[in-house]
Amino acid sequence: MKFSIPNLKTEDKPIVIASAFILVILAVGTAYTLSTQGSAPLLSPGYLLQQLQTGSFLGIVAAGMMVVILLGHIDLSVAWTMTAAAMMATTVGGEMAIPVGIAIGASVGLVNGFGVAYLRVPSMIFTLGVDSVLRGLMVAHTGGFAPQDAATPLMRTLAASKTLGIPNAIFVWLVISVIIAVMLKRTAFGREIYVTGNREVAAYLSGIRTRRVILGSFIVSGICAAMAGVMLAGYSARAYQGMGNAFLLPAIAAVVIGGTRILGGQGRYIGTLIGVILIVLLNSVLSIMQMPEAGRQVIYGSVIICMLLVYGRGNRVHS
């Protein structure tokens, strides 16, 4: 796309284009509501904040997913990591609910990282196996029904209440975002993630303990997924079977739309943030238009393809 935006670094291009697309979505949605209802709810701060609140769960999952994708790996276990963390948190209850949930996420990440980094099983298949084991554990634990335990007040506060008119969930998302962004940009661990993602052999030969980097990244992803699960349980007041299923593919899509290379080694956190907002707004505009599920899926897929065709194209093969 030589004609589009010539003086832009390859890393920034996706971010600019995705931001522009967000404006397009808002414009189209507003034009639709103006023509049908004569009002513009999409542009009201209250509505946008509410959308961001529901988007914060996806945002937290995507933050962890991005760290793993930067390595050129993928974490397919986030769906049931979320569910397992939420279920165990509500089961334990009380003060320990959130720490237990996070600990579940960290241990899932530890298992994933061990399998991928030390056993060298492809992440695609190992995390898939861990996902089904987690599902099995949760079915055995709950008997296949939604557990009766309710979310603790703290979980409710974090996910569903507001401070100064802004939903708390957005603050949690913000804090996690800052932590991940600083970690990627300013710490040795973050730089090592990029280097390992670019070429693991070279990183290893430069003295980076690549296996620990991979292990650490999967733990980060597990913790993020667990946090999202705990928050989602707080938002819906309880944990239920399959609550994380709707998050896996949008999380991957958000990361990739934000310009992170699926093969690893390249991508900026701000891009992931914009990718999440894009997907959340796209979903809400489609639901305002009362688009049936069929149309949603088609548009959803087409948007991802078109965005990637604009800036996600790989290089031609040479020797």
Partner 1 sequence: MADIRSALATNMRQNVAFYIAIAMLASLYLVYNLMHPRGFSAAVLIQNSNESVAIIFLAMAQTVPVLLGGLDLSVGAIMTLANCVASVVVNGSPGQIVLGMIITLATGTAFGFMNGLIVVYGRLQPIIATLATGAIAIGLALFIRPVPGGNVDGDISWALTNDLYEFVATYGLFDADAAWFKPIAWIPVPLLIVVVIAFGVWLPFKRTVTGRTIYAVGSAEGAAFMSGLPLNRAKIAAFTLAGFFAACGGLYLAIQTSSGNADITQAGAYTLNSIAAVVVGGTSLLGGVGGAIGSMVGALILRVISFYFRIVSIDPLLQPLIEGLVLLAAVSLGAFRTLQVKNRLNLFR
Pair of tokens at residue 272? 């992931």
3-state percent breakdown (helix, strand, coil) of the chain, nearest 5: 75, 0, 25
CA–CA separation, 305 and 227 (whole Å):
30
The least distance separating partner 1 from the CB of residue 204, rounded to whole angstroms, comes to 6
CB of 1 or CB of 43, closer to partner 1: 1
Q: How far is CA 5 from CA 1, 14, 273, 288, 313, in A?
A: 8, 11, 21, 32, 15
The least distance separating partner 1 from the CB of residue 28, rounded to whole angstroms, comes to 19
The least distance separating partner 1 from the CB of residue 12, rounded to whole angstroms, comes to 20
CA–CA separation, 214 and 113 (whole Å):
6
CB of 2 or CB of 120, closer to partner 1: 120
CB of 52 or CB of 251, closer to partner 1: 251
The least distance separating partner 1 from the CB of residue 153, rounded to whole angstroms, comes to 31
CA–CA separation, 312 and 259 (whole Å):
7
CB of 7 or CB of 315, closer to partner 1: 315
The least distance separating partner 1 from the CB of residue 230, rounded to whole angstroms, comes to 23
Instruction: Catalog residues that contact partner 1 under the rule CB under 8 A.
Output: 76, 115, 118-122, 124-126, 128-137, 139-140, 143-144, 200-201, 204-205, 210, 242, 245, 249, 252-253, 256, 262-263, 292-302, 304-305, 308-309, 312-319
| Residue 156 burial class via C-beta count within 10 angstroms: exposed 0-12, middle 13-18, buried 19 and up | middle
CA–CA separation, 155 and 159 (whole Å):
6
Number of other CB atoms surrounding residue 74 within 10 Å: 22
CA–CA separation, 109 and 259 (whole Å):
24
- Residue 217 makes CB contacts below 8 A (sequence gap 6+) with 67, 68, 70, 71, 73, 113, 193
The least distance separating partner 1 from the CB of residue 135, rounded to whole angstroms, comes to 5
The least distance separating partner 1 from the CB of residue 43, rounded to whole angstroms, comes to 28
CB of 85 or CB of 176, closer to partner 1: 85
CB of 81 or CB of 152, closer to partner 1: 81
Number of other CB atoms surrounding residue 310 within 10 Å: 15
The least distance separating partner 1 from the CB of residue 232, rounded to whole angstroms, comes to 18
CB of 164 or CB of 294, closer to partner 1: 294
CA–CA separation, 80 and 85 (whole Å):
8
Instruction: Provide the total of helices (H) and of strands (E) in the chain, helices listed first.
Output: 13, 2
CB of 56 or CB of 260, closer to partner 1: 260
